[in-house]
Amino acid sequence: MAADKNEQANNNKKLEDLEQNREDGTDQFLTTNQGVRVNDNQNSLKAGERGATLLEDFILREKITHFDHERIPERIVHARGAGAHGYFQVYESMAKYTKAKFLTDPSVKTPVFARFSTVAGSRGSTDLARDIRGFAVKFYTEEGNYDLVGNNAPVFFIQDAMKFPDLVHSVKPEPHNEIPQAAAAHDTFWDFISLMPESMHAIFWAMSDRAIPRSFRMMEGFGVHTFRFINDEGKSNFVKFHWKPLLGLHSVLWDEATRISGKDPDFHRRDLWDAIESGAFPEWEFGVQIVAEEDEHKFEFDLLDPTKIIPEELVPVQRIGKMVLDRNPDNFFAETEQVAFHPGHIVPGIDFTNDPLLQGRLFSYTDTQLSRLGSPNFHEIPINRPIAPIHNNQRDAQMRQTINKGRVAYDPNSLGGGCPYQAMMSDGGFHSYEERVDARKVRARSDSFRDHFTQPALFYNSHSEAEKKHIVDAFSFELGKVETVAIRQRMVNILTQIDEDLAKKVADNLGLTPQNPEQPINHSFGADTDPQTVQPTEKRNYLDKSPVLSMENTVKDTIKTRKIAFLATNGVDDDALDAMKKLLTADGAMVKIVATKHGTIKTANGAEVKVDETFMTTASVLFDAVYIPGGKASVDALSQEMDAIHFVNEAFKHCKAISATGEGADFVKNETFAGKDENDKAVILGSMAKETAKPFINAIAQHRNWEREMVRKVPA
C-alpha cells in the first residue's frame, strides 16, 4: 500500500515537472530567454532610422541565434534544392563602377556554383510547392569567393531582420501537428501576413505564377537588396542585381503543379540535371540597375527597403555578362548539400548598404553555417574553398584540414616576420566604404518604409487578364484553407487597399464581403510609437504598369529543351513520326515516345522504335506539348486506351500545344476535347507533319494558350 502511494507521489511529481515546462505565453509580456521584457520586437537596433544595425543588439542576436539553431542538420529554410557548376563571364569592363576584378576583365571565365531551392519545405518535400525559390550563386574569383544569395522574387516579406524568425515560424508546418508541409495555405502564415502590411508586395509575387516555375532554367533571379559598387577612386554607386534566363520566364498552372507533385516530386531537380547531361546548358544574363549615390532620395520609395523594386522603366537593367551552368555535381551531399552561401562573402568593389534585412543576414548566415556544418572550418569543405589562397592566423577547431607550419598564430608578430601581413588597398586589400554616420541609437523604422500598397498594386496591374485570374485563384485557394474566418476577413480587407476588384473576387470565392479597414493594422514600427503615425501611407502613382513584371511579355521565340510527348503504338505512320521528330529536335526540343507498353513498337513499315515512357509511368503534366502521329492501327489502339484520351484532355486543360496528323487528327477531333474548337490556335491538326510542324513549333514557343483557360473549363 505504501509502495503504491510512493509511486503515485512520484508520478504526480513527474506531472508537475512536465507542467512547469509548458508555456503558452497567454496574457504575458514578451521576454528574452533571460527573462528581460522586450519593448520592441519589430525593429533591430540601428545607428539612426536608416542606419546600420548595431552588433550590440543582444535581442536581435539572441532571437536569430536561436532561430539559426532550430534544426539539425537540414537547412531551416531552402532545405530542398539542386545545384550545378558553371562559369560567369562579363561582356565588357565595369571598371567605371566597380573594382571587382571578375567584373572588369571580359577575358576571364569565373567558376561558379549555383544552387536553386524552395524556401519553406523540408528536404523531402515536392519541387512544385507554391513558394519563392532561392537563387544563390558562388563566384570563385581570384580575389576570394563572392556569394550572391538571392531569390526568384526581387522583394522580401519583411523589412527588418528582427521579423525573419517570425516569418519562417509562421510559414513552416504548424508546430502542434507538423502540418502542412511545404505549403503556406494555413492559419499561422496568413495570421502573420494579415498583420504585417509590409508583406503585401512579396505575397503578390508568391501568389503569382512566378511561385510555380516551369523550370529552374526558366525563372529570374534577384539579389533582393540594394548593394554598392565601389570603383578604384572610392566612388560608390547603388546597385541591384538581376539574373535573366535566356529561355524566357515560364510557369505551370496550379492544377498542373499539384499533379506534377504526385507524378514526379523531383520535377525541377530532374529537369536541371537532364538539361545539363544532354548538353542543353542553362544560361542567364547578369543584369544591374545602377543608381548614383547622389540620387539615393530621388524616388518615391526607399532604396534600402527590401520590400520594394526599382521599376525598370525608372532605371533600366544593363545586361553585363552571362552565366552558363555546364556540369552537374559528382556527389549531391558533398557539393549541393554542403555548399555554404553567405551574403557577407564579398570582394573588393562590392559593399553593403544599411538595408535592415541585409544587415541581419550578415550575422545570421555565419551562425547558420556553424550550426549546420558543425565547425568554423566549413570553408575548407571542397565546394566552399576559394581558388584564392588562404593565409591567416586561424587554427584548430573541429574538422580542421589545413596543416599549418610554424609556431605563429597571432598578429602582430615578429617570430614569423610579421606574416601574413595586411594588404594595402593598392594590393587588393578590402576597404569598407566610408559612409558617414551621425545618428542616435534607436529601435525604429524610417518613415520612408511606410508605403506598403503602391508596388503590389503596380505588380497586379502589370499582369495580363489570365495572370490576374491566377492571382485571384491563388489567394482564394490559400485563404480557403485558412480555418479562422477572422483571418480570412482581415486579409480580404487588406486586399481592398491594393485593388478593390481583386478583393471582391477573392471575397466572393470565400463567401465574404470585403470591408475597408478603418485602421490597417501595422505592428512594424514599435510598441512606443503612436499608431496613428505609422500606418501605411496612401498609394502613390509614379507608374501605371511595368510590362517586364508580366510573364506574358517574356521571350517566346524558342522551344529549346521543351519536352514533347509523341503518343504512338504499333502501326504508327513512319513518315509522320520521323518528320515531326526531325523538325522538333532540329529546333532543340526533346521528343519522348509514350506508348501502352515498354520495349519497342513497330511502325507501319516494320521499323522498330524504342519506347521512352508508358501511360503508367508518365503523364501529360511532365511535358510541354503533345503530338499524335497517324497510322490507323496505332490510332485505333489509342482510341481504346482511356489513359491516352485523358493524356490529351489534360494537356488541353493545361493550355498546352497539341498537334496531330492523319488518323491522329481524327482521334483528337472524335475522342478528345481538344478537337472541339476549330479556332484554337494551339491545336494544330492536318494531314502531314511537314505542314503542321511550323505552327506547332510556334505554339510551343508561346508556352501556353491562356485564352483557352479563359473561355472554357475542361474536365480532365
Active site residues: 78, 151
Q: How many CB atoms are closer than 10 A to CB 477?
A: 15
Sign of the four-CA dihedral 291, 297, 299, 303: positive
Q: Is 662 in a helix, a strand, or coil?
A: coil
Q: Cα separation of 202 and 212, whole Å? A: 14
Grid coordinates given for 175: 508546430
Other CB atoms within a 10 A radius of the CB of residue 12 amount to: 10
* Cα-based distances in Å from 150 to 165, 266, 305, 342: 18, 22, 15, 10
What is the DSSP-derived secondary structure letter of residue 336?
I
Place of cell 512579396: 202
Nearest Cα to 311, choosing from 321, 319, 300?
Answer: 300
Residue of 263, 202, 219, 156 lying closest to 594 (CA atoms): 263
Q: For strand 608-610 and strand 657-661, is the pairing parallel, antiparallel, or unpaired?
A: unpaired
Q: H-type helices in 496-631, by residue range? A: 500-510, 574-586
In a 13 Å sphere around the CA of 244, the CA atoms on its Cβ side amount to 17
Pair 106, 91: CB distance under 8 Å? yes
**Residue length, the chain?**
716
R_g over Cα of the chain: 28
Cα atoms in the Cβ-side hemisphere of radius 13 Å centred on 425: 10
Q: How far is CA 413 from CA 397, 405, 421, 422, in A?
A: 22, 15, 10, 12
* d(C-alpha 254, C-alpha 405), whole Å: 59
**Distance from chain centroid for Cα 539:** 27
DSSP class of residue 424 equals: P
Cell numbers linked to 81: 534544392
Distance CA 284, CA 251 (A): 17
Burial label for 392, CB within 10 Å (0-12, 13-18, 19+), is exposed
User: Are residues 145 and 139 in contact, defined by beta-carbon separation less than 8 angstroms?
Assistant: yes
What does the block give as the cell for 525? 514600427
Closest to 305 in 3D by CA, of 342, 339, 356:
356
The closest of 480, 471, 481 to 502, measured between CA atoms, is: 471
List Cα–Cα distances, 93 to 101, 347, 580, in angstroms. Answer: 9, 16, 45
Dist. CA 169–CA 178, nearest whole Å: 12
Alpha helix positions (H), 464-528: 465-480, 485-495, 500-510
Whether residue 180 is preceded by a cis peptide bond, meaning omega within 30 degrees of 0, is yes
Instruction: Output the nine-digit C-alpha cell for 322.
Output: 552571362
Q: Round to whole Å and give the CA distance between 585 and 593.
A: 13
Residue 13, amino acid = K
Q: CA triplet 515, 517, 518: central angle to 5 degrees? A: 125
Strand partners, 283: 324
CA distance 20 to 12: 12
What residues pair up with 289 in beta bridges, in sequence order? 240
Q: Give the residue carrying C-alpha cell 514526379.
A: 264
Per DSSP, which regions of 175-329 are E strands? 221-222, 227-230, 236-245, 283-292, 318-327
